[in-house]
Amino acid sequence: MKTILKTMTPAVQIEKADYKVREESLRIRLLALQKDLAASDRAILILMNGVEGSGKGETTRKLLEWLDARGVETNAFWTAQGEESEHPPLWRFWQKIPARGRVGIFFGSWYTQPIIDRAFKNISKEEFERQLGEIRNLEEMLIAEGVILIKFWMYLSLDAQKDIAKARKAKAATRWRISSLARKFARKRKRFQKVDLEVLSQTHTTITPWTIIDAASERSRELAAGETLVEKLRQALHPTGEIQLQTRPRFKVAARNYIADLDQTKKINDEEYKEELARLTARVATLSDRMSTSKKSLALVFEGPDAAGKGGAIRRVIAGMDPRHYRVIGIAAPTDEEKVRPYLWRFWRNTPRDGKIHFFDRSWYGRVLVERIEKFCTENEWQRAFGEINDFELALTEAGVTIRKFYLATTQDEQLARFKDREITPYKQYKLTEEDWRNRDKWHAYEAAACDMFANTSTAHAPWILVEANNKNHARIKVMRNVVEALEEALA
């Protein structure tokens, strides 16, 4: 495992005068590159990791001194608190992903909690490795989305750590720095070292390498950090013919047309509908109230062609619910703050916290439906989206979010009939636009894309439920029954 340390930038003695010269040159190059970055479609994310006393703070301070601080945002992450703890562990990091053109520094990162949990044996080896796998996927995705990821590890040998701790104890001015937590950690130094090296080894990939710096000498540590930043920025912004590393999408073409297989003759008559709807509404009311005070939450995705009845189905589900407990999120074009961040950011902004139920009227699946068909994204982008979305949904599920995804399917004839009805019914006219007619021309392309979507993203924890929607009564009751089941399962 110690082989990973062979990649480390060693600590070297640097004279003050020499340091000054190199610092000056570094700063000029950094500012110039930061200006190029601001005009580019890339963002930098720096993860600042390392043991207590390794100078993470001092190095960050230096970087901020060298850079134009207005383009940088530093975020410190400790234990998740308040709303943070009512979301998946990755949520708080997602909220702070830097926008294009900007620099984000994460002080303490997604590595911190798994390392602590593993060092204190709060989690099993399997869970630890699952979390590292999750991190690897996240990092690959960020890089594919154009984020320049720089992972610093400030390394100190056990002896160096002990020396620093001793020096700190001796120095009155810094004695207050030694918190009881730090003392608790200090007793586990060896154990931490072992876990650290394990993490470094397992998450050092060609695409997401670590930059390990020997932190024993302050000047060489700071210059190494600065030089690395310059080099990574230069490579990313002014590539000299290197081959761009790209992740290979995990993607399979659907084997059959699931939508054509649906039995669209399924019907529920009005009397039975009314009775069953009343029963289910009451059930949803009771269960959603119970959920509101629990640590569980629910994400309900609604997809399907125009006029398939997504809105109507949602309206029936919310009818019995307390408006404080749910949100209906209509997904339209992204805002400019959303456009300058990785694709999934705008959905991570809208994941339900504990107790809440979120309805997505269209969703992150836009990537593999409308964006794929209208060519709003590249082939690589929509193909890798399947894996990214599965990771996203798994992260939610692991954190207590139950997910159900409804695809409301009508036949082409039924859609035409509904469009015509919308044209003549006053309070429905607002729903029909030119675009709806245009999308209709691409019916088969959308159907094929939807089938690929089912084949690639219907998982045990986040299944697709195909709803025969030619008969509205049937569709609504089927949705309601599945929502009730999902609530029961979540609260069981």
- What residues line the site for a second copy (CB under 8 A)? 27-28, 31-32, 35, 57, 60-61, 64-65, 68-74, 76, 81-84, 105, 107, 311, 314-315, 318-319, 321-324, 327-330, 335-337, 359, 361, 426-427, 430
Query: Which C-beta is closer to a second copy: that of 266 or that of 327?
Result: 327
Query: Which C-beta is closer to a second copy: that of 30 or that of 394?
Result: 30
Q: Least CB distance from residue 256 to a second copy, whole Å?
A: 33
Query: Which C-beta is closer to a second copy: that of 241 or that of 323?
Result: 323
Query: Which C-beta is closer to a second copy: that of 98 or that of 387?
Result: 98
Query: Which C-beta is closer to a second copy: that of 241 or that of 426?
Result: 426
CA distance 128 to 114: 6
> What torsion, rounded to 10 degrees, do the Cα atoms 97, 102, 105, 109 define?
20
Do 465 and 265 form a contact (C-beta atoms < 8 A)?
no
Q: Least CB distance from residue 93 to a second copy, whole Å?
A: 15
Helix segments in 238-368, DSSP class H: 270-292, 310-318, 336-339, 345-348
Q: Least CB distance from residue 31 to a second copy, whole Å?
A: 5
Are β-strands 464-468 and 297-303 bridged in parallel, bridged antiparallel, or unpaired?
A: unpaired
Sign of CA dihedral 310, 312, 315, 320: negative
- Residue 350 in tokens: 């809208």
Q: Least CB distance from residue 289 to a second copy, whole Å?
A: 8
Q: Least CB distance from residue 127 to a second copy, whole Å?
A: 26
CA distance 111 to 131: 9
Query: Which C-beta is closer to a second copy: that of 5 or that of 285?
Result: 285
Contacts of 254 (CB under 8 A, 6+ apart): 448, 451, 452, 454, 455
Query: Which C-beta is closer to a second copy: that of 107 or that of 273?
Result: 107
Q: Least CB distance from residue 71 to a second copy, whole Å?
A: 7
Do 210 and 4 form a contact (C-beta atoms < 8 A)?
yes
Q: Least CB distance from residue 263 to a second copy, whole Å?
A: 30
Q: Least CB distance from residue 181 to a second copy, whole Å?
A: 13
Q: Least CB distance from residue 107 to a second copy, whole Å?
A: 5
Q: Least CB distance from residue 170 to a second copy, whole Å?
A: 19
Query: Which C-beta is closer to a second copy: that of 35 or that of 256?
Result: 35
Are β-strands 147-155 and 72-76 bridged in parallel, bridged antiparallel, or unpaired?
A: unpaired
Query: Which C-beta is closer to a second copy: that of 267 or that of 279?
Result: 279
Query: Which C-beta is closer to a second copy: that of 204 or that of 327?
Result: 327
How many other C-beta atoms lie within 10 A of the C-beta of residue 91? 20
Complete DSSP assignment for 147-214: EEEEEEEEE--HHHHHHHHHHHHH-GGGGGG--HHHHHHHTTHHHHHHHHHHHHHHT--SSS-EEEEE
Q: Looking at beta carbons, which pairs linking 411-415 to residues 24 or more positions away fall under 8 Å?
A: 411/264, 411/470, 412/440, 412/443, 414/264, 414/469, 414/470, 415/305, 415/306, 415/307, 415/308, 415/440
